[in-house]
């Protein structure tokens, strides 16, 4: 009996000791959890502070810059590349750019829409490649509104600044700058164009709805296509010619497929450099300010590059042996008279759509005369 009592006592002591060990381990675990929670809180606080610091510095972004011309084109080498380099420098590398030339991200006609949808962050686009999207902007594409890149650039910029209705046409994206290039001439294969009658029945490639009306008014058949398709179309005889600028002769080797040029400075084509709105708004005010600070510089440079390319294109045409017919003012009158209704039709169409066509057109003419 005594031995049994001893055994029970030992069991009780053993159980008590076991309970004490369990309690000690539990207490230590609680302390560790408390310490861990405190450390995590401290780490979270530090992360929050670091995030605030990053926000103050501005979000870093590498812009996908898209265009449809070659990497040897003057706009790539003399405008877009220097622009990207300067923006990176001004923003301490927070805003950098990767340029995709030669329609690598999408067709020439899709550039503006690609920026809207985010396929590209920034693009070099022709408004006329988007029929119906920029109705009031198209006043700058009308015949004899502008003859030089400098004049075309000043004109479209002034109109944009003056009319909220024109600004609204670009509401999808952030406009960086607008510009115009050198004016279109008549480039043909096999047949010289000395009069409107010479154009009867020819198929002429065009860059825009406005130029379609020009070609139709002269009795030819317009065939819309972007510039990067023109060389092959002229080479294969799909079209008999192109309404195109001298800069296109230089940058798209059109001297190789052109036999005759009728020089009349008939109208110009306008471009827009725009950025995806969400990407723009994600940038800090400091980085937006850095970009805004150089816009006028690159807008002017855009005109300069095309003026230089126009001179180079004409020299190349002469060197190639292309026959150039420079229309005198008297000879040009026949071409102008055939196009007079286009201006009135444009105003009527805009007004019928509830847009200030008459006011915009009158202002465009005033600016044209001023410059």
pLDDT of residue 168: 98
Averaged pLDDT for residues 221-230: 95
What is the pLDDT at residue 58? 55
97 and 207 in a single domain? The answer is no
Residue 361 lies in a domain: yes
Residue 80 pLDDT greater than 80, yes or no:
yes
Q: 259 is in which domain, residue-wise?
A: 184-268+322-370
130 and 251: one domain? Answer: no
Its pTM surpasses 0.75? yes
CATH code assigned at 196: 3.40.190.170
Residue 56: pLDDT band with limits 50, 70, 90: very low
Residue 166 lies in a domain: yes
Q: Please state the separation of Cα 133 from the chain's center in Å.
A: 14
Tokens of 311: 């001179």
If asked whether residues 78 and 132 sit together in one domain, one would say yes
The answer to whether residue 53 is domain-embedded is no
The reported pLDDT for the residue numbered 164 is: 98
* Predicted local confidence at residue 19, as pLDDT: 43
**C-alpha distances in angstroms, 336 versus 68, 97, 144, 363?**
32, 44, 8, 20
Q: What angle do CA 282, 287, 288 make, to 5 degrees?
A: 70
> Which stretches of 170-322 are assigned E, i.e. beta strand?
173-180, 184-188, 203-206, 221-224, 241-245, 260-263, 270-276
Angstrom distances, CA of residue 134 to CA of 140, 146, 236: 11, 18, 32
The 3-state secondary structure of 228-258 reads HHHHHHHHHCCCCEEEEEHHHHHHCCHHHCC
231-282 tens-digit pLDDT: 999 999 999 999 999 999 999 999 999 999 999 999 999 999 999 999 999 9
- Structural domain count of the chain: 2
Tell me, yes or no, whether 119 lies in a domain: yes
* Residue-wise pLDDT tens digits, 155-183: 999 999 999 999 999 999 999 999 999 99
Does residue 365 have a pLDDT over 80? yes
Q: Does residue 30 fall inside a structural domain?
A: no
pLDDT-based confidence at residue 32 (cuts at 50, 70, 90): very low
Check: CB of residue 338 under 8 Å from CB of residue 196: yes
Q: For the residues 300-316, what does the mean pLDDT come to?
A: 97
The pLDDT assigned to 38 comes to 43
């Amino acid at each position: 009996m005594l031995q049994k009592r001893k055994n029970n006592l030992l069991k009780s002591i053993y159980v008590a000791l076991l309970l004490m060990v369990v309690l000690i381990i539990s207490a230590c675990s609680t302390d560790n959890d408390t310490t861990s929670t405190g450390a995590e809180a401290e780490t979270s606080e530090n992360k929050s502070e670091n995030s605030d610091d990053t926000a103050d510095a501005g979000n870093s972004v590498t812009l996908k810059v898209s265009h449809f011309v070659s990497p040897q084109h003057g706009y790539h080498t003399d405008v877009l590349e220097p622009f990207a380099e300067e923006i990176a420098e001004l923003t301490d590398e927070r805003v950098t750019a990767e340029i995709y030339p030669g329609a690598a991200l999408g067709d020439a006609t899709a550039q503006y829409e690609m920026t809207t949808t985010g396929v590209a962050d920034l693009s070099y686009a022709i408004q006329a490649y988007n029929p119906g999207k920029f109705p009031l902007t198209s006043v700058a594409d009308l015949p004899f509104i502008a003859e030089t890149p400098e004049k075309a650039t000043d004109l479209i910029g002034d109109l944009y600044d003056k009319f909220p209705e024109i600004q609204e046409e670009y509401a999808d994206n952030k406009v960086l700058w607008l510009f115009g290039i050198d004016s279109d001439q008549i480039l043909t294969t096999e047949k010289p164009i000395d009069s409107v009658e010479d154009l009867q029945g020819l198929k002429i490639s065009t860059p825009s709805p406005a130029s379609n009306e020009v070609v139709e008014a002269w009795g030819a058949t317009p065939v819309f296509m972007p510039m990067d398709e023109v060389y092959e179309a002229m080479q294969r005889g799909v079209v008999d010619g192109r309404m195109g600028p001298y800069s296109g002769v230089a940058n798209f080797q059109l001297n190789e497929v052109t036999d005759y040029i009728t020089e009349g400075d008939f109208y110009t084509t306008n471009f827009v450099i725009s950025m995806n709105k969400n990407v723009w708004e994600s940038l800090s005010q400091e980085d937006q300010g850095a970009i805004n600070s150089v816009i006028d510089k690159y807008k002017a440079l855009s005109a300069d590059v095309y003026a230089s390319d126009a001179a180079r294109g004409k020299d190349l045409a002469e060197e190639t042996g292309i026959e150039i017919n420079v229309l005198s003012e008297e000879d040009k009158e026949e071409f102008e008279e055939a196009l007079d209704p286009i201006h009135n039709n444009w105003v009527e169409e805009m007004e019928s759509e509830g847009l200030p066509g008459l006011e915009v057109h009158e202002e465009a003419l005033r600016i044209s005369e001023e410059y």
